[in-house]
């Protein structure tokens, strides 16, 4: 079975918190991992429904919240207002194409250190950040 690492992480989390290991949770985790990040609750719901038409919206929402708490997923709000989930991994930022919706990840040490300097100037303790560039990707730009 695929995604062994994540499934075990979930199992561990459930056990430690006295929660139950249900097939819904497993199905949703799998669908989420297969989607490879940046999915909306609705996309997830649709994809889960294809094979398991009895699973409800509620369970998708509750499970995604659980996966976030377990450190397997991360919630993200881009400018369109819809919540998306992505697989939790090394911190990075995003290029978002406002035409085709493509999301490209990037990561930049030099920006991060500048950020730290700015925060320090304000005596601000930074816990997380978001940095998104919106525009048109190579395929969508006109020029």
Interface positions with DNA (CB under 7 A): 14, 18-25, 40-42, 54-59, 61-63, 65, 81-83
- State how far the Cα of 135 lies from the Cα of 69, in Å rounded to an integer: 32
Q: What would the two tokens of residue 33 be?
A: 């991992």
50 is an interface residue for its own copies by CB under 8 A: no
Minimum distance, C-beta of residue 21 to DNA, in the bound complex (Å)? 3
Contacts (Cβ under 8 Å, ≥6 apart) of 117 = none
> Is 51 or 114 the residue whose CB approaches DNA more closely?
51
* Best CA proximity match to 37, nearest among 109, 79, 94, 98: 94
49 is an interface residue for its own copies by CB under 8 A: no
DSSP H or E stretch at residue 123: none
**Site residues for its own copies per CB under 8 A:** 77, 79, 81, 83, 95, 97-98, 104, 106, 108, 110-111, 114-115, 118-119, 122-138, 141, 143
């Amino acid at each position: 079975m695929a995604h062994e690492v994540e499934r075990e992480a979930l199992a561990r989390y459930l056990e430690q918190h006295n929660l139950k290991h249900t097939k819904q949770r497993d199905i949703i985790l799998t669908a989420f991992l297969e989607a490879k990040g940046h999915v909306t609750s609705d996309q997830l719901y649709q994809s889960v429904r294809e094979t398991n038409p009895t699973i409800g919206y509620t369970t998708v929402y509750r499970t995604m919240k659980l996966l976030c708490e377990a450190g397997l997923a991360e919630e993200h709000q881009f400018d369109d207002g819809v919540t998306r989930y992505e697989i939790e991994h090394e911190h990075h930022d995003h290029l978002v194409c406002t035409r085709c919706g493509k999301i490209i990840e990037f990561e930049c040490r030099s920006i991060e250190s500048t950020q730290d300097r700015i925060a320090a100037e304000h005596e601000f303790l930074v816990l997380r950040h978001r940095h998104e560039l919106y525009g048109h990707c190579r395929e969508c730009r006109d020029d």
